[in-house]
Each structure stands twice: as C-alpha cells, then as structure tokens.
Amino acid sequence: MAGFGKQRILGRVVVMLILILALAIGGVFWFDFLGLIDAKTLFAPALRLVGLPTRTGAALPADLPTLLDDERYAKQLAAVEALRQELDARFMAADEREASIEAMALEIDERQKALDEREKAFNSAAQQYDNRKANVEQNARYLTGMPPADAVEILASLDDQTAIDVLRAVEELAAKSGESSVVAYWLSLMPAERAADLQRKMNAKPATLD
C-alpha cells in the first residue's frame, strides 16, 4: 500500500509539472499573439517539426486580429519620427539663424567702433586745426605789432609752411580791419631767394592749414 501511495503522489507531481509546462508554453504563445514577445521565432525549429506555421518575416495576413493595431502603431511611430526629424531641422535652422545674427551683431559692433574711432580722430584733428589756427592768428598779431626787421627775422626762422600760414593770417587780419597788409613789405626785407620761394609756394598752394 505504501508503494501505491508513492506512485499516486509521483503521478500527481508529473501531472502538475506537465500542467505547469503547458500553462507556461500557452502563456508564451498568448503573449506572442498579443504582440508582446516574439515566441514563434524563438520556437520556430520545434514548431516546424510538429508541422505548425512559424513567423518567416513575410507580410502579416490580412485577417490577423492585431493587424489594425499594428498598422496604427507603425503609423504613429512614423509620424513621431517625421516630427522628430522636422524638429531637428527647425532646431538646426534656428541655430544657424542665431549664429548669423550673432555674426551680424559682431560686424555692426566692429563698424560702430570703427566709426567711433574715425569720429574721434576727426574731432581731434579739428581741435588741433582750431588750436593751430588760433596760434597762427595770435602770432600774426604779435608780428604785426613788432618792428618790421624783428618780424622778418622771426619769419625767416620758421619753416616754409608755418611762415606761409602766418603771412596769410596777416593778410586776412588786414583785410578784416580794412588796413594795408605788411606782407609785401616783409617779403621785400627778406633775402630775395627766400622771399621768392615763399611767394611761389603761396601761389602754388592757395589753401591754408590743411
């Protein structure tokens, strides 16, 4: 009787194991049917031995229950991928525009700096011109009030351009005050070569203080 009891227990264990195995295999194929796992590809050799169809990678049959869901899911994935690509392209275009705007802003800054430097240089030159012109006019007044011989001696010690500027300033001051200019008299007191050189340069370059 003891042996018979053991056989019954062993039989139950075997049946339970077979049942568990069947449930496990059935669950695997059920998950495969739901599309959660690919069991048919994994068990393809065994399925072919028993004559069951296997997944070959060909197109799904039209009557597959999950075909519509699979197609809808595939379309959604394609739409998401297209959207991702479009966003990437937009981000890339935005980065390029931002880089272009930054380059333009940098160029504008450089141009503004160049303009500021030019304006600063112009103002400095204008200030120097005004200062020099004022100094030349002041020297012209001083020389006009001196004895002619002293004025000519000072003029002779100046460089040609400065001497010419002073002589022209003397003429302008005389014209403004309605008096006769002493420039011709001063030139007559200078050495002939020096006077001729100054007159030639004054006629060749009528503009003053460039």
Choose between 117 and 49: higher pLDDT.
Answer: 117
* Amino acid symbol at 136: V
**40 confidence band (pLDDT: 50, 70, 90):** low
Q: Quick one: how far is CA 162 from the chain centroid?
A: 50
> What DSSP element (H or E) covers 38?
none
* Amino acid symbol at 63: D
Is the pLDDT score of 67 beyond 80?
Answer: no
Each residue of 166-202: pLDDT tens digit?
888 888 888 888 888 888 888 888 888 888 888 888 8
In this structure, the answer to whether residues 44 and 117 fall within a common structural domain is no
In this structure, the answer to whether residues 44 and 114 fall within a common structural domain is no
CB 188 within 8 Å of CB 177: no
Choose between 207 and 33: higher pLDDT.
Answer: 33
Domain containing 44: what range? Answer: 7-50
User: Residue 210: inside a domain, yes or no?
Assistant: no
Mean per-residue pLDDT over the chain, rounded: 77
In this structure, the answer to whether residues 37 and 105 fall within a common structural domain is no
Identify the pLDDT of residue 25.
72
Q: 67-70 long-range CB contacts below 8 Å, 24 or more apart?
A: 69/35, 70/35
Phi-psi region of 28 (alpha: psi -120 to 50; beta: other; left: phi over 0): alpha
Is the pLDDT score of 210 beyond 50?
Answer: no
CATH number at residue 118: 1.25.60
Q: Quick one: how far is CA 73 from the chain centroid?
A: 43
**9 confidence band (pLDDT: 50, 70, 90):** confident
Choose between 122 and 185: higher pLDDT.
Answer: 185
CB 48 within 8 Å of CB 54: yes
Is the pLDDT score of 18 beyond 80?
Answer: yes
User: Residue 165: inside a domain, yes or no?
Assistant: yes
CB 169 within 8 Å of CB 204: no
> What DSSP element (H or E) covers 102?
helix 67-144
Each residue of 137-166: pLDDT tens digit?
888 888 888 898 888 888 888 888 888 888
User: Residue 79: inside a domain, yes or no?
Assistant: no
User: Residue 136: inside a domain, yes or no?
Assistant: yes
Q: How many domains does the chain have?
A: 2
User: Residue 155: inside a domain, yes or no?
Assistant: yes
**56 confidence band (pLDDT: 50, 70, 90):** low
Mean of pLDDT values over 63-73: 65
Identify the pLDDT of residue 49.
62
Identify the pLDDT of residue 46.
57
User: Residue 71: inside a domain, yes or no?
Assistant: no
Choose between 43 and 88: higher pLDDT.
Answer: 88
Mean of pLDDT values over 29-56: 59
In this structure, the answer to whether residues 44 and 105 fall within a common structural domain is no
Q: 27-34 long-range CB contacts below 8 Å, 24 or more apart?
A: 33/65, 33/66, 34/66
Q: Which of 14-18, 93-97, 174-178 has the lowest mean pLDDT?
A: 14-18
In this structure, the answer to whether residues 113 and 190 fall within a common structural domain is yes
CA distances from 36 to 33, 66, 131 (A): 8, 11, 93
CB 60 within 8 Å of CB 70: yes
d(CA 176, CA 3): 150
End-to-end CA distance of the chain: 137
